[in-house]
């Protein structure tokens, strides 16, 4: 039986496993992610986060999407990993952990520990006004890498946006081969408030929230002159995320993501969950 904890960050849910003793072989983790993240048949989650020992930081993580693929980073997952590490006494309130995009700093900031703030990777590869040919039409979109790639559509009607249809087509578009892209649909409410819906690769559908997508939405909206820091981002879950940033010489620095990271339950995974 494998001990685990289930956490949720603004609607993104994750399975967390402490594997610092390497009791689960690394070669088994991809398959384990697919087995455990199945909803109804197993624990069910948007992703699996495995905590390992690190010689450079408080800990190291391996992050797997629900389909078993590896992602460079995950904003809400990072906040849940920090909360998990604090609850399990792996790290103090201020911590540093190792990821595929480098060392990430995080802080458990509220008295009860349910709010976590993470310093995100600096956005890169920003491109405005891309013309994406889809079904004989050229869709105008924007692109930025916030630890993982995001294509962003600015829309007036977010409720009726074709998140799964256009999201899937864009995610798999040849322009983003071979890795694909996450796809965000955003509506700017005012200079400090955005609504967002996100189609996530690896989940292959809409999720209730996306941390790196929230950063992408804010960066694109700022570049278009629509918002200034700080910005409240309201995802499909309705649980807001706070994004702050600085711009120096046209580059985005000091990018922070803050929001809830709730411990849902913990327990043991039994063999039936892997069948």
| Mean pLDDT of the region 7-21 | 97
Give the global pTM.
Answer: 0.93
Phi-psi region of 236 (alpha: psi -120 to 50; beta: other; left: phi over 0): alpha
- Catalytic-labelled residue, pool 80, 151, 184, 210: 210
Q: Which two tokens stand for residue 75?
A: 């904003």
Q: What is the mean pLDDT of the chain?
A: 96
Could you tell me what percent of the chain has a pLDDT over 70?
Answer: 99
CATH number for the domain harbouring residue 29: 3.10.310.10
Task: Convert the pLDDT of each residue in 73-106 to its tens digit.
Answer: 999 999 999 999 999 999 999 999 999 999 999 9
Q: Confirm if 93 and 20 have CB atoms less than 8 A apart.
A: no
* Separation of alpha carbons 44 and 48, rounded Å: 10
* Separation of alpha carbons 63 and 248, rounded Å: 31
Q: How many of the other CB atoms lie within 10 Å of CB of 157? A: 8
- Indicate whether 129 and 229 sit together in one domain: yes
CA distances from 156 to 69, 95, 183, 231 (A): 33, 40, 16, 18
- Indicate whether 6 and 94 sit together in one domain: yes
Which stretches of the chain are DSSP H helices? 29-36, 75-87, 163-171, 211-223
What pLDDT, on a 0 to 100 scale, did the predictor assign at position 112? 73
Task: Examine the pLDDT at 25 and tell me if it is beyond 90.
Answer: yes
- Catalytic-labelled residue, pool 37, 74, 80, 184: 74
- Indicate whether 141 and 255 sit together in one domain: yes
What pLDDT, on a 0 to 100 scale, did the predictor assign at position 218? 98
Task: Convert the pLDDT of each residue in 239-261 to its tens digit.
Answer: 999 999 999 998 999 999 999 99
- Indicate whether 107 and 6 sit together in one domain: yes
- Indicate whether 94 and 193 sit together in one domain: no
Helix H or strand E encompassing 40: none
* Separation of alpha carbons 27 and 177, rounded Å: 26
- Indicate whether 223 and 153 sit together in one domain: yes
Q: Between the CA atoms of 228, 231, 235 and 240, what dihedral angle is there, to the nearest 10 degrees?
A: -170
- Indicate whether 137 and 252 sit together in one domain: yes
Q: Which two tokens stand for residue 183?
A: 């796809």
What pLDDT, on a 0 to 100 scale, did the predictor assign at position 275? 84
Active site residue 74: yes
Could you tell me what percent of the chain has a pLDDT over 90?
Answer: 95
Cβ contacts of residue 110 below 8 Å, gap of 6+?
A: none
Of 52, 43, 63, whose CA–CA distance to 1 is shortest? 43
- Indicate whether 245 and 148 sit together in one domain: yes
- Indicate whether 152 and 107 sit together in one domain: no
- Indicate whether 251 and 129 sit together in one domain: yes
211-223 and 75-87 helices, crossing angle to 10°: 140
Task: Convert the pLDDT of each residue in 121-175 to its tens digit.
Answer: 999 999 999 999 998 899 999 999 999 999 999 999 999 999 999 999 999 999 9
- The model's confidence at residue 223, banded by pLDDT at 50, 70 and 90, is very high
What's the chain's length in residues? Answer: 275
Whole domain around residue 176: which residue ranges?
Answer: 124-260
Q: Which two tokens stand for residue 180?
A: 């694909």
Active site residue 151: no
What pLDDT, on a 0 to 100 scale, did the predictor assign at position 111? 67
* Separation of alpha carbons 182 and 264, rounded Å: 26
- The model's confidence at residue 110, banded by pLDDT at 50, 70 and 90, is confident
Q: Confirm if 165 and 134 have CB atoms less than 8 A apart.
A: no
* Separation of alpha carbons 5 and 235, rounded Å: 24
Q: Confirm if 59 and 97 have CB atoms less than 8 A apart.
A: yes
- Indicate whether 249 and 145 sit together in one domain: yes
Domain count, the chain: 2
Q: Confirm if 55 and 84 have CB atoms less than 8 A apart.
A: no
- Indicate whether 106 and 208 sit together in one domain: no
Q: Which 8-state DSSP code applies to residue 208?
A: S
- The model's confidence at residue 40, banded by pLDDT at 50, 70 and 90, is very high
Task: Convert the pLDDT of each residue in 175-207 to its tens digit.
Answer: 999 989 999 999 999 999 999 999 999 999 999
Evaluated on CA atoms 161, 163, 169, 175, the torsion sign reads: positive
| Mean pLDDT of the region 232-245 | 97
* Separation of alpha carbons 205 and 236, rounded Å: 13
């Amino acid at each position: 039986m494998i001990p685990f904890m289930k956490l949720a960050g603004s609607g993104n849910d994750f399975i967390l496993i402490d594997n610092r003793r390497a009791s689960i072989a690394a070669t088994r983790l991809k398959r384990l992610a697919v087995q455990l993240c199945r909803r109804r048949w197993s624990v069910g989650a948007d992703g699996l986060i495995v905590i390992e020992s690190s010689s450079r930081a408080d800990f190291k993580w391996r992050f797997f999407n629900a389909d078993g693929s590896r992602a460079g980073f995950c904003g809400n997952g990072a906040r849940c990993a920090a909360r998990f590490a604090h609850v399990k006494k792996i790290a103090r309130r201020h911590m540093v952990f190792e990821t595929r995009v480098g060392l990430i700093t995080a802080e458990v900031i509220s008295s009860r520990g349910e709010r976590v703030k993470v310093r995100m990777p600096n956005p890169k590869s920003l491109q405005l006004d891309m013309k994406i040919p889809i079904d004989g039409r050229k869709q105008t979109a924007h692109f930025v890498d916030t630890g993982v790639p995001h294509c962003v559509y600015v829309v007036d009607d977010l409720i009726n946006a074709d998140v799964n249809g256009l999201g899937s087509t864009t995610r798999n578009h040849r322009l983003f081969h071979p890795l694909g892209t996450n796809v965000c649909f955003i509506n700017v409410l005012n200079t400090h408030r955005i609504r967002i819906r996100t189609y996530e690769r690896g989940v292959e559908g809409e999720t209730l929230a996306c941390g790196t997508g929230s950063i992408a939405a804010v960066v694109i909206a700022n570049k278009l002159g629509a918002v200034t820091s700080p910005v409240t981002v309201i995802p499909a879950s309705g649980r807001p995320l706070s994004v702050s940033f600085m711009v120096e010489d046209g580059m985005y620095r000091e990018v922070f993501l803050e929001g809830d990271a709730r411990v849902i339950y913990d327990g043991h995974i039994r063999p039936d969950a892997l069948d």
